[in-house]
Structure 1
Amino acid sequence: MIAHALQAMRAIVGREVAKFSRQTGRLVSALVRPLLWLAVFAAGFRNVFGLAIAEPYDTYIPYDLYIAPGLIGMVLLFNGMQSSLAMVYDREMGLMRLLLTAPLPRPWILFCKLTATAVLSLAQAGAFVVIAALLGTSLPVLGPQTPHVLLAAVSAALMLGALGLLLSVHIRQLENFAGTMNFVIFPMYFMSTALYPLWKLEESGAGWVWQIARFNPFTHAVEWMRYAMYGKDPGLSPWIVLGTLALCFFVASWGYDPQRGFGALTKRGGGPA
């Protein structure tokens, strides 16, 4: 049974990796967005945003170095949401019906899809880190802190992939994905510490944005990676990320179960059996 489950994981992850390897434009588009922010936005605001010495930094840092972990989070976030689009497409084409009728527990099949999403997310994030270093923004990812950085990045990729999995339960048509971009991705990214520290939000008087950013799981994913790179204690961020991962995956698994779930999938011809 275990061998069968691992074989299914290899097959699903291998299929997604093979499909991604044939989509060169997908990798390019995934990297262009954060690299534009790094090369243009960070350069333009380098002398506008003054960053005081604050945890996890021990000295003043340039703005591009501050937003780089947030841009890694952007790569993970957009690929996690892209996975929800792929899930909706597979459901409409009937592929999810075939996949979910496999003689394996449904949560395991979904976890295999989630693992495939995380693998692709981490590959794209790794490519971004390399190109950013070539552009002059070198992140401290190598050293004694590397295992902690990898743990933070993997956990963030899984959490955002689980969020995409949860959204795919509710997105019934491909046309609705644009609404997801407007109401999920952009608020989650901009109301976080990806672009500016929490203390700066509070200091500027943006109280409601500060409160949202404090409870935004994406904030804690970015902060966990940021603190891990400098070998500092990330506080409660790992627990919030892992808790959000478990909650999103549990609710998504429940939603994909036609016997107990939301029932939205079984009302469409392309939903799981």
Structure 2
Amino acid sequence: MSGLRYLRCLEGITRREALRFLQQRGRFFSALVRPLVWLLIFASGFRFVLGVSIIPPYQTYVMYEEYVVPGLCAMVLLFQAMQSSLSMVYDREMGSMRMLLTSPLPRWWLLGCKLLAAVLVAVLQVYAFLLVAWFWEVRPPPLGYLLVLPALLMAGLMLGALGLLLSARIRQLENFAGVMNFVIFPMFFASSALYPLWRVREASPVLWALCHANPFTHAVELIRFALYGRIEPVSAAVVGGAMLVFGALAVLAYDPAIGGIGRRGAPPNPA
């Protein structure tokens, strides 16, 4: 099979995801308003100066709004990943992906195209949020807006791969909301998105250990450091490793010989 067909598949899935996003304006505004509401509430309730080492080895004092914005950027990626996995459940059962999964193209490529298209849409939403936050006087270094792009892509791919893995195990849309409540909220609140890890450690060492083991925490830290022009190597390694693990498990889960995706709805064995 020629490489042109692979590229055509990538273009088609990306274009479809973009058109779906443009046609569902409520999806864009909900993704934009949600972090802004969180920023408004937490900025009003916790408007104080944090002495945190965002850029090692320097001690940097930042306002709470500047600290929490990277966490809210990661929240945009997280919710977009879960929404994409929700659409994947629908498409797999009765939409376009039902036909694409039976095409000659390998499933890892189809899933990768779907994942990449969803991540590109999520990154656009993050930059729209950063633009609004700029008017909120949350203004990282200008170069940080460019340097944060690889961090956003890595974090988005990791969370999107997790969403694909979850979508492979969900057979009915009615079960999706319950599963997401056990994924989104624990991942978000048990992280450094809203509070520094050193303050969490002072409050509860057990909760600190859970936050430190949470891949979403490392996605937040990766974005936070990149937004200020630095690299957090530990977080980059954790996010990259989790991305590969979640992606490999998702491909295996969508393998009809292993995950059983292709056998759903098949006629019963006459024997």
TM-score range, shorter chain: over 0.9
Q: Which residue of 2 aligns with 1:243?
A: 241
Q: Distance in 2 between matches of 1:55 and 1:94?
A: 44
Q: Which residue of 2 aligns with 1:186?
A: 185
Q: Please identify runs of 4+ aligned residues in structure 1 that moved more than 6 A.
A: none
C-alpha spacing 1:66/1:100, structure 2 compared with 1 (3 Å): same
Contact residue 119 and residue 160 of structure 2 kept, 8 A:
yes
Counterpart residue type for residue 66 of structure 1: Y
Q: Which residue of 1 aligns with 2:254?
A: 256
C-alpha spacing 1:53/1:248, structure 2 compared with 1 (3 Å): closer
Q: Which residue of 2 aligns with 1:168?
A: 167
Q: Which residue of 1 aligns with 2:118?
A: 117
Q: Distance in 1 between matches of 2:123 and 2:60?
A: 29
Q: Distance in 2 between matches of 1:55 and 1:136?
A: 18
Offset, 1:137 = 1.7
Structure 1 segments unaligned to the other structure (5+ residues): none
Q: Distance in 1 between matches of 2:183 and 2:27?
A: 21
Q: Which residue of 1 aligns with 2:96?
A: 95
Offset, 1:94 = 4.5
Offset, 1:255 = 0.7
Matched, 1:197 2:193: no
- Identity over aligned pairs, percent: 51
Q: Distance in 2 between matches of 1:99 and 1:266?
A: 12
- Structural RMSD (CA): 1.6
Contact residue 43 and residue 64 of structure 1 kept, 8 A:
no
Offset, 1:55 = 3.1
Contact residue 71 and residue 194 of structure 1 kept, 8 A:
yes
Matched, 1:231 2:232: no
Which of 193, 204, 208 matches 1:210? 208
Contact residue 35 and residue 72 of structure 2 kept, 8 A:
yes
Deviation per CA, 1:29-54, whole angstroms, max 9, x where unpaired?
Answer: 1111100011122221214xx52242
Q: Which residue of 2 aligns with 1:157?
A: 156
Deviation per CA, 1:112-136, whole angstroms, max 9, x where unpaired?
Answer: 0001110111011111000111222
SS in structure 2 at match of 1:113:
helix
Contact residue 89 and residue 172 of structure 2 kept, 8 A:
yes
Deviation per CA, 1:156-211, whole angstroms, max 9, x where unpaired?
Answer: 1111111111110111111112112211010000000000111111112x122100
Q: Which residue of 2 aligns with 1:76?
A: 77
Q: Distance in 1 between matches of 2:5 and 2:15?
A: 15
Counterpart residue type for residue 252 of structure 1: A
Q: Which residue of 1 aligns with 2:28?
A: 27
